[in-house]
Amino acid sequence: MPLISLHGVSKRYQGGIAALSDITFDVEEGEFLFLSGPSGAGKTTLLRLLLRMEVASHGDVLAFGRNLRALRRSAVPFLRRNIGVVFQDFRLLPERTVAENVAVGLHVLGLSRRDIRQRVENALYDLAIDRYADHYPSMLSGGEQQRVAIGRALVMHPALILADEPTGNLDWELSNEIVRLFEELNAKGTTVVMATHDRFLLDAYPRRTILLNRGMLIEDRAAPKRAKGG
């Protein structure tokens, strides 16, 4: 069974504005998928459906074997425990240190102080930002802040990471670093769905790509096959 399935999914807002129209595709467990298309194509709306921040107007959105259209509100927090989210604008708490920002979700889960400390230390080390544990976001570069945002998602040990234009505010070198971090997480078994409109990234990291435009699925481009022995 796919980790994510969308079947005939449409999303309309008040006034009849169509954000998504008849979208159908699956995402397998352990896959790395790009969502691409220009601004307004529907990428963010699709991610919001997967997070159950929005509900589809028509069709079915399934994640982890559950139909999100029929999901009770009380079950949404449990769904989100399995999903790590990374945004373009970082969304770090300015009055909290790097370590405290990364630990926020773990406190919500009610983990012990010891478990929280260990998870945070491991995440900061894996992302090479452990030396910034006591720094505040304003003391960091954009790339370092995005690493903290990824650490906040990673520390939850999610089965799925949703990234909404995570390189949109970064230069080319930092964008490459961030995508490589997602590739490393994916290599360890985490499913990654990353929205981007950056064609240079798509060319540099050939992966399966869902191309959206004006809310419609224009192309489902398979990842190129690797040469034997390569």
- For 129-163, write each residue's pLDDT tens digit: 999 999 999 999 988 999 999 999 999 999 999 99
3-state SS record for 64-86: CCEEHHHCCHHHHHHHHCCEEEE
Task: Say yes or no to pLDDT of 199 above 60.
Answer: yes
Q: What is the pLDDT of residues 15-58, one digit of tens each?
A: 888 999 999 999 999 999 999 999 899 999 999 999 999 999 99
Percentage of the chain exceeding pLDDT 90: 76
Average pLDDT over residues 108-129: 92
| pLDDT (0 to 100) of residue 140 | 95
pTM score, whole prediction:
0.90
The string of pLDDT tens digits covering residues 52-104 is 999 999 999 999 999 999 999 999 988 998 999 998 888 899 999 999 999 99
24 vs 19: CA distance, rounded Å: 14
d(CA 54, CA 11): 9
At 226 the pLDDT is 59
Is the C-alpha dihedral spanning 128, 131, 136, 140 positive or negative?
Answer: negative
Amino acid at 9: V
Write down the mean pLDDT value for the chain: 92
Q: What share of the chain is helix, strand, coil (3-state, %, to 5)?
A: 35, 25, 35
**CA quadruple 22, 60, 25, 204: dihedral sign:** positive
Give the three-state DSSP class for 53.
coil
Angle of helix 98-109 relative to helix 142-154, nearest 10 degrees, comes to 20
Sheet of strand 4-13, all strands in order from the earlier edge strand to the far edge: 17-27, 4-13, 58-63, 66-67
| Parallel/antiparallel/unpaired status of strands 216-221 and 208-213 | antiparallel
